[in-house]
Amino acid sequence: MQILISGWLLPIIYLIGWLLVYALPGHHWSIARQTALIGLLATVASVVAATAGSLIAGAGIDRLGLVAALLVSLLGWVIVNFSSRYLAGDRLQSRFISAMLFTLTSVGVLLLSRHLLVIVLAWTGTSIGLHVLLTHYPERKAAQIVAHKKFLVSRCAELCLAVALLLIYAACGTLQLDDLSFYLLNAETLPVSLHLAAVLFALAAILKTAQLPLHGWLIQVMEAPTPVSALLHAGVVNMGGFVLIRLAELLCMAPAAQIVLVVAGSTTAVLASLVMLTRISIKVRLAWSTCAQMGFMLLEIGLGLYELALLHLVAHSLYKAHAFLSAGDTVEAARHRDLFAGRANGESLWWTLLGALASGLLVSVSVWVWHGFLPGLSLPAATLVILSLGLAPLLWFGQGHQPALLLRGIALVLGLTQLYLIWHLVFASIVPPAGTLSGGLTAWVILCFTSLYGLQFWIRRYPRSQLATRLYPWAYNGFYLDETFTRITFRVWPARLSPTQAQTRVNRTLTPNGETV
């Protein structure tokens, strides 16, 4: 019963499926589909049993791990079934299935373990399994080069993690998360070694989540099959945020780590959002979107908004899996959302400002009303600003003074705000409470997102302005960040390519936009 409540059935089922693929190679797809389905049903049963056990006996359960496991089992079931159709007739199907199930097994162990060494080893196993998936077509040299770049970044992250584990064990004498939490609860001040360990975990998450300027591998992995992109962007790349939420108590006491996360995350979120708007390839556009969203999630963790970060993680995973698996249907819709379109749009400056103010008023009133029923509910200023600016474009359509459009925009802002507050309460009961927010970091985040809002409006309103024309080539080339990183990595540890194709393929991969020609 305990193994059911803990959720550990999921990685066990994935492990059995992985072994069966080797034992019965002629039935690999049948094994993979059945494994994914049984894993999903077992996880649902675990969530139901754990909830019932908590209500009846008051037993403590790992809510965070179970929620993440349920998400992964759902995504695994969808991606495996999609892959069985997508890769029909592929000569390397068995290799793909084996790597997919190995990766899902590692992810399951990472999500459910409460021992830091096991978490780090599982995170490394996830990276190794993903490396095999990214090189599914070994004859494609571009894929080999991108996988080589990711391999180097991942090993640097794991070096940071290894040093962090040594520091934590030296200071606390344990790597168990429960024991670490007890130590931090009774510690008046944090030792320098734990400050450094927290910074190293933050750096590892930055490396693993493809933050600028170490983002090139995430943008250029489009040589891999679409299901691999869905797994990477919907699940694997989010693991950095999950691990940091596990270490929330440590991060709350380490201001240096919070600063690193907020600065790196906010910078990536702003720059990647601008680059995304110049992309033509829908998969590359989605990749830049993932880069921006991971930055957004890391800055939320740096601010101590763990419930918002978890909500972001779950919502992004579901959205990005759907977006990649239905990428063909989103091409047409994406054409209408390009801020660098070659014609002016009709938004007026005053209407855009009023839209932001009106959105902020609607969000604030909603929070005030909820606070009347739930006095404990409160949202930090940074959350209110980000939520208000994010919903403000829904009011832009009413600038023609058409009552129906204006009412529709108001209804959407109010409805989405209520939905957010509901999920905020749900996830607040799963993660540790929000930490104390730094006034300087809050001001920095508000400045970043108000600047991004204003810049996006200006480009929409004046696409032929001097600012837009000067910004476009920089944004289109990813602000030239990946080129420098690529040259350095290839100088330190060059990829092994055949002499006749090496230079051509390297030049093809060095283009920062991720689009092959």
Give the pLDDT confidence of 415-455 residue by residue, as tens digits: 999 998 998 888 888 888 776 777 788 888 888 888 888 88
**Mean pLDDT value of segment 311-329:** 81
Q: What is the pLDDT of residue 207?
A: 92
pTM, two decimals, is: 0.86
Structure tokens at 367: 């929070």
The residue type at 484: T
Q: Label residue 303 exposed, middle or buried (CB < 10 Å: 0-12, 13-18, 19+).
A: buried
Residue 499 has pLDDT above 60, yes or no: no
**Mean pLDDT value of segment 261-280:** 88
Residue 59 has pLDDT above 50, yes or no: yes
- How far is residue 478's CA from residue 456's CA, in Å, rounded to a whole number? 17
**H/E stretch holding 143:** helix 141-172
- How far is residue 153's CA from residue 135's CA, in Å, rounded to a whole number? 16
**Mean pLDDT value of segment 258-264:** 93
% of the chain with per-residue pLDDT over 70: 87
Kindly give, in sequence order, each residue whose CB lies less than 8 Å from that of residue 181, ignoring residues fewer than 6 positions away.
249
User: What does each C-alpha distance from 271 to 302, 313, 480 come to in angstroms?
Assistant: 18, 20, 12
pLDDT band at 16 (very low <50, low <70, confident <90, very high): very high
Q: What is the pLDDT of residue 504?
A: 41
**H/E stretch holding 149:** helix 141-172
Q: Give the tens place of pLDDT for each residue, 140-164.
A: 777 777 777 888 889 999 999 999 9
Q: Give the tens place of pLDDT for each residue, 93-144.
A: 888 999 999 999 999 999 999 999 999 999 999 999 988 888 888 777 777 7
The residue type at 105: T
Cis upstream peptide for 499 (omega within 30°): no
- Quick check: 290 and 218 in contact, CB under 8 A? yes
